[in-house]
Amino acid sequence: MAATVAKRISQETFDSVVQENVEDFEMAWDEAVADAIEQFEANNIDLSNIDTKMRPEDRDTTEHPLIAASKELHGVTSKTPAAAGEADQDHADIVVACITKVSQLLADNSELKVIAGACGAMQGAWQAWQICPDDVARDASVRLLIQLIENCGMCKPAQH
């Protein structure tokens, strides 16, 4: 079965539609978001790259914890050379703690998988697998990679 790439919109487009719902139709913010999601999904738009939980003004001043944790993981794994087994055990423990944090936040925010991946979680998990000397860190990184890839909505089966 062939795969097709899903249509996507930008965060700005989503926020604009929500704002229009609030202003033009006098909807509450939560209602405006639900309506925008319904509209886009009815048009087969993949919203996996959209943060539907934070208000735009909050996004400007507060980073979503999952995004912050993804960036932290990427930063921690970027500090060590990429050759296999070069991270010492202390560094591996820090990497595992970061992976665990991202994984737990993903469990509660699975709709943000694509955003987390783009913010460094995918690259950090892959880098962790390459640099960490122990099986615990490597297993954790593989589980996180699977969690990020699983049902991420990037490709969908073609409709026949």
Neighbours of 88 (CB within 10 A): 13
- Are 53 and 73 within one domain? no
pLDDT for position 5:
65
- Are 14 and 34 within one domain? yes
- Are 81 and 132 within one domain? yes
State which residues form the domain around 105: 63-149
Mean pLDDT, consecutive 10-residue stretches, the chain (160 aa), reads 73 96 96 97 91 86 87 86 61 90 87 84 90 86 86 46
- Are 24 and 84 within one domain? no
- Are 67 and 56 within one domain? no
- Are 30 and 75 within one domain? no
- Are 52 and 9 within one domain? yes
pLDDT for position 87:
62
pLDDT for position 99:
93
- Are 53 and 86 within one domain? no
pLDDT for position 156:
43
Do 87 and 133 contact (CB within 8 A), yes or no?
yes
- Are 76 and 143 within one domain? yes
pLDDT for position 18:
97
153: exposed, middle or buried (C-beta count within 10 Å: 0-12, 13-18, 19+)? middle
From first CA to last CA, the distance across the chain in angstroms is 9
In angstroms, the CA 153 to CA 70 distance is 19
pLDDT for position 28:
97
**Domain contains 100:** yes
Counted domains in the chain: 2
pLDDT for position 80:
55
